[in-house]
Structure 1
């Protein structure tokens, strides 16, 4: 039953919460026609926050490479050139002495330090990959919210324009009645003021739309002055997944929770790495040394015996810091404290996830209820305005009744579009808070939660 619900959820996500509008007329050359999926894809390709996360992943790859290479052999060359004087010159009067040593060494046993570093680097790489997915989910939600905001602003422009058109027609009616003496001058003045206010509202709505488009361009990586023709219309589709299922899905798939679990594992590895400070270190080494009065060579002249050598060395070396005045123990205790901190952070990540999911879900359901109510209010407000107009034209209603009805109609229309916007943006936020996948299957990372 649980898998069926998640499949249903995936279908709902893929289906979207909006309907595509019929393609409009040809746009100017500097205008880009985009739908919401195209905007999300552009954000995935261009957003700088995602690029920073990718750079962090590359850094984690090389950090793991560093950890693994540390356990392998290293080649070292030591060279020195010296002048010799005094009694040590001997009969050969040697004044130049060269020393060259080539050594290959490899750690055999480090008390778990290298092994712990490799495991921590592997975990860090996985955590970095999860961080990329978390960033993409956040950018996707931010892009969707910006797109829906632009759609809402476009709808509110239409509401403001309709209000201006309606009041202009009403003003014509008032002027006609005033010219024949059936209404007072105050009706004309009041209607003119109402129209001016509506025109100011239209200017503000247009400005809000321009700002919304600029913000959307910034998120998807376009120049902020790019003109966008949004091909979608905000719609409404019932969300059938329960809150409990949403919370459970988030606990299993939310990247922030998975990343927090990895932080605990990494901190636990650091305890072992710190504890290796008081354990013996064993390494194998082979070296070849050339010493003489000629660079990279040996002189077999007996008189130069004390100044010419050609030797090699092969063996094992051990270093054991038996007592370090409890410095290592202090580091171990610090690492253990870091583990407890990571565990608390992981618990907080789960609690934060639960809260964000519930908040987005409640906002979603609240907006869904508001949509139906607001739609009914629009129909009633439109009918009320028509009645007020007829009554005013017949001389049995007042100008105030008409303007009040028109204002209520504008408010009802705005409330309806705002409810649609809240629903769609809340759905985008719910997807993010749940950890709905963008392009990373997080199932391979879930074993860290056990």
Structure 2
């Protein structure tokens, strides 16, 4: 009977220890995390909207952020599980020969005392529940929830970053393609002028020097076209990286050059409602992250303080033990309440509390610094947008004047009242002005995307 009680006590201890160990195991997460619904930002290009939708599903940064959120959800589940009951079961067996004894010294005399009987089997089921933990379990759960909220804010900012990257890469591609069209037109204009120079040379109107200079101009224009084509290819690769997967067909620029630039007059400037900096302070996810993490640190400090208070654990179970493999004859319910109080730990919990409070204050200071950074980013984005809009006005006027100047120069050269150098200079000025026009037009698009990103849209 003494042996059976030992085995029964061993099972109760094992049940309690198993429940405590189970509370330390992370919860398993089956399947991929569910991505919250997203809304495609308002863009005036259907193809860009399609690319943004594709990026939401394929960009690895968004996928990584979703996994991080899933991990944060699992941490909440772990914290919650430590507050609930733990059920466990166990079996034990002890095989010994009958009649085993030992000599024990009692009051100076040696006596032979039997210590074990025959085979013993025992089985038990039990339930354990934390009754009181000084508020540390609740504080840990709240800290995990705040950490999850911070991760969700970071996930939203990651999505905004991907949106901005896709928009910038798309506009960079369109700008590179426009420059490629400008370079292609420059080649055609150079070849046309070279043909005119050769015709005049054959007629004895101009010297051969004009023909040679025209050929050099053609070669230079062809080199510029090669560079522009390479720029388009590089921009296409950058867009693929931003989206995160292979790009759909239809990204080639099919509009003629004269159908691209007139849209510059129709570009609607971005108008923000209210002060952009204050809007950013209200919308930027980084500020929310710092505030949430500061609150998490405060909850962790509270959890550390709670570990210095008494911890109460209750347990109930049902135990059976006899000499059969499936014990059933000798059984009894058991219940226990345990109290543990770590009232002195050489200052460990106090140090953890101080660390967590310092971390909370550090994050608040970082939040103030982030506000200064956000103010600078918004201001810079607004200035870049205004600069691009001003450059567009000038570049539009310049391109119109350069095209008219080139028309007059070619006409004068054809009628032998203008020089070859004037024509070449006019063609170069036209090419440069069209390049500047393309740059300014798509810089506006990129600056608008940057401003939206800076204010947290």
User: Normalising by the residue count of structure 1, what TM-score does the alignment of the two structures yield?
Assistant: 0.82
Partner of 1:87: 101
Partner of 1:116: 139
Partner of 1:250: 280
SS of aligned partner of 1:35: helix
Query: Which of residues 291, 297, 318 in structure 2 aligns to 1:288?
Result: 318
Alpha-carbon RMSD across the aligned residues, in angstroms, is 2.5
CA offset digits 1:374-432 (Å, max 9, x no partner)? 10110111122122222222333221111111111111110011011111011111111
Mapped pair 1:66 → 2:78: yes
SS of aligned partner of 1:72: coil
Partner of 1:240: 271
Matched residue count: 398
SS of aligned partner of 1:249: helix
- 1:44-443 correspondence runs (5 A): 44-85=56-97, 86-87=100-101, 94-223=117-246, 228-229=251-252, 235=264, 236-241=267-272, 245-297=275-327, 310-436=331-457
Where in structure 1 are there 5+ consecutive unaligned residues? 1-12, 21-33, 300-308, 437-450
How far off is 1:90 after superposition? 9.1
How far off is 1:289 after superposition? 3.0
Structure 1 residues 147 and 93, CA, compared in 2 at 3 Å: closer, same or farther? closer
How far off is 1:287 after superposition? 2.5
2: distance between equivalents of 1:355 and 1:335? 30
2: distance between equivalents of 1:207 and 1:82? 80
CA offset digits 1:79-129 (Å, max 9, x no partner)? 332233522899998442334343211111111111011111221222222
Moved more, 101-110 or 170-179: 101-110
1: distance between equivalents of 2:169 and 2:298? 41
Where in structure 2 are there 5+ consecutive unaligned residues? 1-40, 103-111
CA offset digits 1:188-233 (Å, max 9, x no partner)? 1111111111011112212211222232233324326966346896
Structure 1 residues 314 and 412, CA, compared in 2 at 3 Å: closer, same or farther? same
| Bigger relative contact order, structure 1 or 2 (CA pairs below 8 A, ≥6 apart) | 1
Structure 1 residues 229 and 175, CA, compared in 2 at 3 Å: closer, same or farther? closer
Q: Which of the pair has more CA radius of gyration?
A: 2
How far off is 1:136 after superposition? 1.2
SS of aligned partner of 1:228: coil
How far off is 1:323 after superposition? 0.7
1: distance between equivalents of 2:228 and 2:119? 88
CA offset digits 1:349-374 (Å, max 9, x no partner)? 22222221111111111101110011
User: Normalising by the residue count of structure 2, what TM-score does the alignment of the two structures yield?
Assistant: 0.81
- Given that 2:177 and 2:253 are in contact with CA atoms closer than 8 Å, whether structure 1 keeps it comes out as no
1: distance between equivalents of 2:63 and 2:271? 35
SS of aligned partner of 1:291: strand
Structure 1 residues 172 and 93, CA, compared in 2 at 3 Å: closer, same or farther? closer
How far off is 1:292 after superposition? 3.2
